[in-house]
């Protein structure tokens, strides 16, 4: 049997040879995830590792060497300080999407007492409704996705975080699942927005493993899904309510022009992400 230190070094060497960018970090994360140890604990532990855990560690390394994303291998990913189950049926949560949560919360007066309704369009793993539900304990949230497998992952996360009584899941193509009288105080979305021309530039981790249904925005400009959202949002967003949506870093002007073509939208702005790139559209329905 190998010790934790020996396995860590084996992992670093294996991932380095496979061309993984940060082999030290990933070897530590894999080993820590299997053994239930934090990184500091990992480096002060000299115990021998059970054969089953050792074999699992090596299987993780082989999968990562084939460019399978780290989060899919371990089966979970952090978002908004919470742990979420993920699978190849959903996109892996990314830090820039936390801006959707930040920006919506900034618009809610009296978070503890807010009892309005929030709709998440294309929920994937359910990171947005779960995060918002925990921050807004009296709010009602509805999460929509066209993918049944994605909704199954979202359901796991909703139950895991104790939000089942406040978050409803709906299978449908964005807003087509709702009746004419449905109205929401806020709407959020991280829709597919990748341009077809840029798929070849994405990392193989993304292109080969993450669901294209959640990536391909439609059309050469990647705005197919977003274009269909604009008139539907106008219809179902309550006057005075805000719509927040993640967009591609190179779609700012097109998205502003699209939503600006509807007379009922005002307060149109695009907020930069942590890297200084245009990332979140914010629009209010004025009437």
DSSP H/E element including 140: strand 140-145
Question: Regarding beta strands 278-285 and 265-272, do their DSSP bridges make them parallel or antiparallel, or are they unpaired?
Answer: antiparallel
What is the per-residue pLDDT for 165?
Answer: 96
Please tell me whether the overall predicted TM-score, pTM, comes out greater than 0.85 for this model.
yes
Ordered by start, the domain boundaries in the chain are: 4-66, 76-285
Q: Which of 35, 55, 103 is nearest to 282 (CA)?
A: 103
- Note the pLDDT tens digit of each residue in 229-260: 999 999 999 999 999 999 999 999 999 999 99
Give dist(CA 130, CA 166) in Å, integer. Answer: 9
Query: What is the per-residue pLDDT for 215?
Result: 87
DSSP state of 35: H
Percent over 70 (pLDDT), the chain: 100
pLDDT at residue 230 in the model: 93
Angle of the 98-107 helix axis to the 127-135 helix axis, nearest 10 = 40
pLDDT of 200 reads 66
pLDDT digits (tens, 9 = 90+) for 191-201: 999 887 777 67
Torsion angles phi and psi, residue 132, rounded to 5: -70, -35
Q: With residue 282 as reference, give the H or E element that holds it.
A: strand 278-285
Distance CA 253, CA 158 (A): 35
Residue 252 pLDDT:
97
How do residues 45-78 score in pLDDT, each as one tens digit? 778 999 999 999 999 999 999 999 999 999 999 9
State in words which class domain 76-285 has. alpha beta
pLDDT computed for residue 184 by the predictor: 98
- The architecture of the domain spanning 4-66 is Orthogonal Bundle (1.10)
- Overall average pLDDT of the 73-102 stretch: 98
pLDDT value of residue 205: 86
Given a contact cutoff of 8 angstroms between Cβ atoms, the answer to whether 51 and 39 are in contact is no
pLDDT (tens digit per residue) in 118-133? 999 999 999 999 999 9
Is residue 213 predicted with pLDDT exceeding 90?
A: no
């Amino acid at each position: 049997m190998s010790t934790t230190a020996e396995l860590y070094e084996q992992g670093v060497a294996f991932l380095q040879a496979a061309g993984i960018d940060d082999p030290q970090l990933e070897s530590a994360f894999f080993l820590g995830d299997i053994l239930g140890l934090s990184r500091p604990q990992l480096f002060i532990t000299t115990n021998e590792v059970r054969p089953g855990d050792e074999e699992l560690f090596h299987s993780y390394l082989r999968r990562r060497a084939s460019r399978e994303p780290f989060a899919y291998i371990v089966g979970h990913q952090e978002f908004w300080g919470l742990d979420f189950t993920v699978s190849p049926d959903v996109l892996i949560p990314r830090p820039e999407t936390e801006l959707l949560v930040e920006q919506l919360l900034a618009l809610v007066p009296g978070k503890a007492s807010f009892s309005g309704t929030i709709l998440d369009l294309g929920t994937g793993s359910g990171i947005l409704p779960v995060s918002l539900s925990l921050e807004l304990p009296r709010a009602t949230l509805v999460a929509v996705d066209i993918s049944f497998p994605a909704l199954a992952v979202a359901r796991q996360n909703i139950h895991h975080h104790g939000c089942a009584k406040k978050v409803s899941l709906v299978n449908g193509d964005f807003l087509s699942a709702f009746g004419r009288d449905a109205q929401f105080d806020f709407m959020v979305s991280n829709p597919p927005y990748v341009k077809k021309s840029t798929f070849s530039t994405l990392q193989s981790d993304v292109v080969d493993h993450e669901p294209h249904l959640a990536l391909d925005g439609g059309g050469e400009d990647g705005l197919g899904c977003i274009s269909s959202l604009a008139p539907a949002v106008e219809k179902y967003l309550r006057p005075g309510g805000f719509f927040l949506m993640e967009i591609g870093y190179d779609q700012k002007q097109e998205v502003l022009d699209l939503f600006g073509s509807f007379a009922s939208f005002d307060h149109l702005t695009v907020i930069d992400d942590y890297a200084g790139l245009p990332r979140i559209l914010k629009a209010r329905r004025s009437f």
